[in-house]
Amino acid sequence: MHSSELRGIATVLRTARTNRTPIDPPTKSWPTLDAESGFEVQRIGAEEAVREGDRLVGYKLGNIAKVMQAAFGLDHPDYGFLLASTMVYEGTNVARKNYIKPYVELEPAFVLKGHLKGPNVTVADVINAIDYALPAIEMIDSRVRNWEIGLADTLADNGSTGTIILGSTPRRLTDLNLSNTRGTLHFNGRGVVSGNTGNILGNPISAVAWLVNRLSAYNIEFKPGQIIMPGSCLEATPMEESGHWSCTFEGWGTIEFDVI
């Protein structure tokens, strides 16, 4: 695709995000949009945001768990850039009106102390590069109407990134069993969904290795201090009404926030 077309798609998606007005899938308006050009659209969007004062703080992987792929009709993970503007504080109010059709996810987040760049990055390389892990929430939100997305659509939309909340209970990897940690979402005191970190490609560290190697095709290097989010351990839950969310990894920590 021509660069003018890619920038045009990025502009349409950015306008939809700003106005919180959904659009038809980009692949309907631009039939030649594929996964590779979809990633270029998201890179253009991230670069424009940084030029206007935002900051790149890391990368995310989405739809890595089979339950997530089934929920959104995808058969392949998506990925995106994490920007500082998407971060909100734990325990604060989140306004439902600021989203189009959001879902809540619980996942680990990793903060790096070393560099990672593929190809051929191993799980051992990832373990050596991680400083600590945090419980995290992502409120995913698609700019595509009713989440009628294919892989190219969600990649162009920066992996359907919405808002990130990082928890306040950092742990070293040696203090966690990330192949078998149960996570649960509660809304207004009622358990709504649970899952296990083993759903994230068997272990979220493996998911990070997958992401590093995948993004090496775009000459992307993960750097010390960056946040890496490997995807949800449970099925995303609609965030449809006001109320209190409590999101817990057993033996690790809880993140709470209110939707208003």
For the domain spanning 3-259, the CATH number is: 3.90.850.10
- What is the average pLDDT across 60-82? 72
Tell how strand 103-112 and strand 237-238 pair up. antiparallel
Please state which of the ranges 62-66, 126-130, 148-152, 198-202 shows the lowest mean pLDDT: 62-66
pLDDT at 65 (0 to 100) = 54
pLDDT at 62 (0 to 100) = 86
pLDDT in tens, 105-137: 999 999 999 999 999 999 999 999 999 999 999
Domain segments of the chain as ranges:
3-259
pLDDT at 128 (0 to 100) = 98
CA torsion 168-172-176-181 (nearest 10°) is 40
Structure tokens at 191: 């358990």
- What is the average pLDDT across 71-91? 84
What are the Cα distances from residue 80, in Å, to 44, 174, 175, 200? 12, 28, 28, 17
Tell how strand 78-83 and strand 56-62 pair up. antiparallel
Spell out the residues 6+ positions from residue 11 whose beta carbon is closer than 8 angstroms to its own: none
pLDDT in tens, 203-258: 999 999 999 999 999 999 999 999 999 999 999 999 999 999 999 999 999 999 99
pLDDT at 1 (0 to 100) = 84
Rounded to whole angstroms, the Cα distance separating 157 from 10 reads 8
What are the Cα distances from residue 13, in Å, to 46, 53, 154, 244? 12, 19, 11, 30
Q: Pick from 128, 126, 108, 109: which is nearest to 117 by CA?
A: 126
> Does residue 79 have a pLDDT over 90?
yes
